[in-house]
Chains A and B, each alone.
Chain A
């Protein structure tokens, strides 16, 4: 069976019970990572999760050594997960403590904790290599993740823990949203900000330790952060953003696991992260809301509207137009002839624009507090933003102002 055939059959869970379970486990891991990561991203603490993940390594090493000392083979996943959770919790609390008790900033604390823990972990791994039972330990797979030879029980554990973590995110969504947006206000409404922050980081910790086997500790931060960053392009609502981040994370985990299973030499963690990056790229470029392409198009359209309006107002004031783009736009719209003289259509449009401008000017004087004035972008016709009654009133005022002016002119 070729790579592509295998990939497609695995994608639809047709490549055997074992790899299907691994793919589902990776998917649920991604789901929990994406949703938990959304809050970490919004709280601007992405790097804390990096410290947490690097701080797992000494726990993995120590847990292995202890389990070997008690006569087991040392690779029992729940034991390794427990060890990594304890050491990364210590790392997290150290970052917290350093930030709170000293005048060091959080980034400095992160840098110190991350490198010390990771260095200690690497030393332990080297020691384990020299142990008699250490040769086949495969602990270095925890660095970049590997699903090769994964046990069914391991995949099931990861799937259940991932689903539980995602449910936990859903339960805490309101206080976490409040803390991420406005922690001081949150505190006054009775939210315990410190506990919510710890819960948020606790979620990152859970995702990290259950993701050790599949994604690996070096890259798990990417699975926490890339999905929410990609999701941010699609929506301005926090609830939807979390949902989208969960879906992107889940799909990345699922597709990445299937891809790496199809070709055993592909490391699982990096493949999952690359798939997530693919989602990011698509989002950044093509999202109609905040994507680069849509923004560029919107900007261009707006620029054209501004030029058109400026050009029409110049025509109404009988001023010459020099701007090349303005001339091109007006000519293409049939407002001016090739020699720059206004067409009949151009004269009507120019008069309309000037009239609209006068109405807005009067509206600003008459109704300075009206919400239409606040929402006015400088281009939208007044009919679309004010009621006919308001406009009639504005026209009456314009007329009486003109009459007053005319009378003044007559008397002088």
Chain B
């Protein structure tokens, strides 16, 4: 993989072998007002990998994800999903937004939210059939939420809400999953449930990218990292890229040296 990767001038990656990689980003820049939140970031996510996007608060991790999916407008840069424009590869991608981005008092039951993941395949006019409900229930079972199908979503705990969001993405049956902070503020049971589902996805050959904030679990959950602090700091396999040096560069003075020591890095 890395042998095919040539680092050209101004940090652009020309990745010839991975032309159809799940995600190839060149020079992505996104700004709010006139201040770039993400500046000229390159990334290349190989198929079947599990990548953590890591960086301090306000480093543009979520913005990077949204920029690749066109949720926020791009100022410049190119994004290819499986070698195509996102618009042409949409049905191969599933996005799990941050749990806090929606109003959970919305009139919906758990099953209704999961069925939203099937809107694309059901179409505008057709009604739900038993087949769709069974599909949604399967996804709920995978995240351990089948007993909650008829609950109002406002009655769920934060971890349960996160699992419902994951179930909705599973319903899309995509090849490439992008998750925004799936482990933020969830209980231990939820974290175990989500990790096991993500590992299943990887075992099935699918690709997973997570915005992640807990440095202590990176090596356990993921096999690749993308370190971002507005700019791309480093990208690659965990054992060679998730190093004390790179973390120091990513976090600057905001990460105490003692904290890095506790991670027992190479």
Contact = CB atoms under 8 A, between A and B. Distances in A.
B145 interface: yes
Nearest to A182: B102
A411 interface: no
A238 B144 contact: no
Interface stretch (A183-191, A269-277, A327-335): A183-191
Contacts of B103: 44, 181
A182 B101 contact: yes
Interface string A30-71: 000000000000101000000000000000000000000000
Given A190-B90, A238-B112, A368-B189, A184 B106 contact: no
B148 A184 contact: no
Interface stretch (A139-147, A291-299, A369-377): A369-377
Contact of A371 (B119, B145, B152): B145
Given A185-B97, A188-B69, A371 B144 contact: yes
A42 B107 contact: yes
B106 A238 contact: yes
Using C-beta atoms within 8 Å of the partner chain, give the interface range for chain B. Answer: 35 or more
Interface in B103-133: 103, 106-109, 112-113, 116, 119-120, 124-125
A189 B120 contact: yes
Nearest to B153: A236
Contacts of A188: 69-71, 90, 93-95
B148 A171 contact: no
A369 B108 contact: no
Contacts of A232: 107
B66 interface: yes
Of A171, A185, A190, chain B has the most CB atoms within 10 Å of the CB of: A185
A129 to B, nearest CB: 46
B157 interface: yes
Nearest to B108: A238
B255 interface: no
B147 interface: yes
A278 B155 CA distance: 29
B108 A237 contact: yes
A369 B95 contact: no
A266 interface: no
A100 to B, nearest CB: 11
A9 interface: no
A189 B92 CA distance: 10
A177 B103 CA distance: 13
A283 to B, nearest CB: 14
B85 interface: no
A235 interface: yes
A185 B66 CA distance: 10
B108 A236 contact: yes
B106 A180 contact: yes
A246 to B, nearest CB: 14
A216 to B, nearest CB: 30
A365 B71 CA distance: 43
Given A185-B95, A369-B192, A241 B107 contact: yes
Contacts of A190: 87, 90, 120
Contacts of B97: 182, 184-185
A189 B101 contact: no
Contacts of A375: 147-148
25 contacts: A42-B107, A103-B33, A181-B102, A181-B106, A181-B108, A182-B116, A184-B66, A184-B71, A184-B97, A185-B116, A187-B69, A188-B69, A188-B93, A189-B90, A190-B90, A190-B120, A236-B108, A236-B152, A237-B108, A237-B109, A238-B107, A238-B112, A368-B189, A369-B192, A371-B144
List 6 A-B pairs, minimum CB-CB distance, nearest first.
A188-B95, A236-B152, A371-B147, A369-B189, A238-B107, A184-B71
Interface of A: 42, 44, 103, 171, 174-175, 177-178, 180-182, 184-185, 187-190, 232, 235-238, 241, 368-369, 371-372, 374-375
Interface of B: 33, 66, 69-71, 87, 90, 93-95, 97, 101-103, 106-109, 112-113, 116, 119-120, 124-125, 144-148, 152, 157, 160, 168, 172, 188-189, 192-193
Given A185-B97, A369-B192, 8 more contacts: A42-B106, A185-B95, A187-B69, A188-B93, A189-B119, A235-B107, A237-B112, A369-B144
